[in-house]
Amino acid sequence: MVMELRQLEYFTAVAEEANFTRAAERVHISQSGVSAQIRQLETELGAELFDRSGRTTRLTPAGAAALPHARAALDAAARARQAVDDLTGLVRGRLTLGMIMGCTVTPFFDALAGFHRAHPGVEIALQEENSDVLVDNVRAGTADLALVGVSGEPPAGLNSHVIVSEGLIAAVPADHPLSTRISVDLVTLCAYKIVCLPLGTGIRRVLDEACAAAGLRPEVALQATAPAAVADLAARGLGVAVLSASMAVGCGELRTIPIDGIRIPALLALVWRDSHSPAVRALLPHLRAAFKRQDRRPNDRPAEPG
C-alpha cells in the first residue's frame, strides 16, 4: 500500500470542511485534484471514506475510523519536520496575518519584506478585516497574528505589543464653525453630524464608548473604512471627521481639533496567541524592529489605529 501524506491532508481537509470545494480552496489545488486523490486513497484502503449523496459531505463509518489516524500521521510528520528545522535553523510553513481594512501601515509591510528575505520558505497570507473580526480570527486560530486598532486596553487573553496609544481629533474645513477652536468637548461635537470609521474599528469604539459614558449619542452620518476617505468626506462638508491624532498628518487642508473628555486611548497593537510556531516567533522581531525604526523618524506619518 502506497499512502501519501498529501492524500491524508486532503482527506482531513474534506472531513473538517464537509465540502470538497472548500477543502480544495484550503489546500490550494483544484477540486478535481482533491477528488482524485481521495478516490485513490479509498481504493488503497478498500472502502469509501465519504458519503457524497447529500448536500453536505459526510464521513462514512470507515472515514470516521480513519480520521484520527490520518491526523496523527500528519502531526507526526509535522513534528519530524520541525525537529529537523530546529536543528538546522530553518523556518518553514504558512503564516496567516491580519491587518486593519483600509489602512496602509508601512512598517508592517517593511517587516513582512524583511521576514520574507530571511525566511523564504514561509508562505504568507494576508487578511483585511475590521479589528473586531481580526481579534476573533486570532482567538479562533484562523489568523496567527494581527495588527488591530482597539480601545483602552489590548484584547484580553492574547499576547500583545502596543505600537500607538493616542487620543482622537475632529477634522473640519476652514469655513466650519469649529475651525477656530483649540479643542472641542463631546457635547459640542455631538451637535454636528459625524463622519467616522465603521463599527468594529478601534477609533469608532473609542468614540462610542466615550459618548455612552457621557450620556451622548453621536449622529454618524457617514462612515468609510479608510481614514483618507473619512477626511475627504469631511472636506466636502458632509460632517465632522473623527479620527486618531496620528491621522491628522493626512488630513490635507482640514483643520484638526483635539477632542476633550475622552479618557479612553485609541491603540494600535499587534496581537497573537501563545504559539509554538517558529514562524510567528521569527516574525515578531522583524515587526518590533520595523515599528521601532518608525518611532525614530519624527517627520514620518505614524501608523494608523483603525
Q: Nine-digit cell at 85? A: 528545522
Alpha-carbon distance of 73 to 79, in angstroms, equals 10
Alpha-carbon distance of 142 to 239, in angstroms, equals 37
Model pLDDT for residues 211-269, shown as the tens digit of each residue: 999 999 999 999 998 888 999 999 999 999 999 888 777 677 899 999 998 888 888 89
| From-to residues of CATH 1.10.10.10 in the chain | 5-88
CATH placement of domain 5-88: 1.10.10.10
| From-to residues of CATH 3.40.190.10 in the chain | 94-163+271-295, 168-264
CATH placement of domain 94-163+271-295: 3.40.190.10
Is 158 within 8 Å of 143 (Cβ atoms)?
no
Return the pLDDT at 119: 85
Taking Cα atoms as reference points, which of 163, 190, 194 lies closest to residue 261? 190
Return the pLDDT at 146: 94
The pLDDT of 43-49, averaged and rounded, is 92
pTM, two decimals, is 0.64
Evaluate if residue 300 carries a pLDDT over 50.
no
Return the pLDDT at 179: 92
15: amino acid identity, one letter: A
Evaluate if residue 278 carries a pLDDT over 90.
no
Model pLDDT for residues 169-210, shown as the tens digit of each residue: 999 999 999 999 999 999 999 999 999 999 888 889 999 999
Which CATH code, of 3.40.190.10, 3.30.360.10, 3.90.650.10, 3.40.50.2000, is assigned to 168-264?
3.40.190.10
